[in-house]
Amino acid sequence: MKRSPQRLTLLGATGSIGRSVAQVIAGAPGRFQMEAVVGGRDARGLAQTALALGARFAAIADPTAHRALAELLSGSGIACGAGPSAVAEAAQRDADIVVSAIVGVAGLAPTVAAFGAGRRVALANKECLVAAGHFFMAEAARQQVELLPMDSEHNAIFQALAAAPARAVEKVTLTASGGPFRLKSREEAARATPADALKHPNWTMGAKVTIDSATLMNKGLELIEAHHLFGLPPERLDAVVHPESVVHGLVAYEDGSVVAGLALPDMCVPIAHCLAFPDRLATACRRLDLVALGRLTFEAPDEARFPALALARAAMAAGGRATCVLNAANEVAVAAFLEGRIGFYGITDAVAGTLERASAGPAPASVEEALAVDAEARAVTAALLPNFAAKAS
> Is 344 part of any domain?
yes
The C-alpha atoms of residue 253 and residue 164 are separated, in whole angstroms, by 8
The answer on 315 and 266 residing in a single domain is yes
Query: Tell me, what's the pLDDT at 204?
Result: 73
Same domain, yes or no, for 25 and 86? yes
Instruction: Please choose, from the candidates 381, 312, 378, the residue with its C-alpha nearest in 3D space to the C-alpha of residue 342.
Output: 381
CB 50 within 8 A of CB 29: no
Listed in sequence order, the residues at least 6 apart from 229 whose beta carbon sits closer than 8 Å to its beta carbon are: 123, 129, 137, 147, 149, 154, 158
The answer on 220 and 361 residing in a single domain is yes
pLDDT (tens digit, 9 = 90+) per residue, 131-165? 999 999 999 999 999 999 999 999 999 999 998 88
Asked whether residue 1 is domain-assigned, the answer is no
Residue that finishes a domain, picked among 96, 129, 149? 149
Q: 90-126: per-residue pLDDT in tens? A: 999 999 999 999 999 999 999 999 998 889 999 999 9
The answer on 262 and 133 residing in a single domain is no
Q: Are residues 339 and 225 in the same domain?
A: yes
Quote the pLDDT of residue 392: 40
Final residue before a domain boundary, out of 115, 149, 183: 149
**Whether the predicted pLDDT of 391 surpasses 60:** no
CATH number at residue 36: 3.40.50.720
pTM of the model: 0.94
Q: Using one digit for the tens of pLDDT, what is the confidence trace for 222-245?
A: 999 999 999 999 999 999 999 999
Are 144 and 210 members of one domain?
no
Judge if 116 and 28 occupy the same domain: yes
Q: Is residue 10 in some structural domain?
A: yes
pLDDT digits (tens, 9 = 90+) for 165-188: 889 999 999 999 999 999 999 999
Inside any domain, residue 225: yes
Tally of domains in the chain? 2
| pLDDT at residue number 390 | 52
Q: What mean pLDDT do residues 307-321 have?
A: 97
Please check whether residues 213 and 117 belong to one and the same domain: no
**Of 110, 128, 149, which residue constitutes the final position of a domain?**
149
In a shared domain, residues 40 and 88: yes
**Are 163 and 186 found together in one domain?**
yes
Express each pLDDT in 240-275 by its tens digit.
Answer: 999 999 999 999 999 999 999 999 999 999 999 999
The domain spanning residue 294 has which CATH number?
1.10.1740.10
- The answer to whether residues 213 and 308 belong to one domain is yes
Is residue 54 in some structural domain? yes
Q: Residue 277: inside a domain, yes or no?
A: yes
Q: Distance (Å, rounded) from C-alpha 164 to C-alpha 251?
A: 10
For 25, the domain range is 6-149
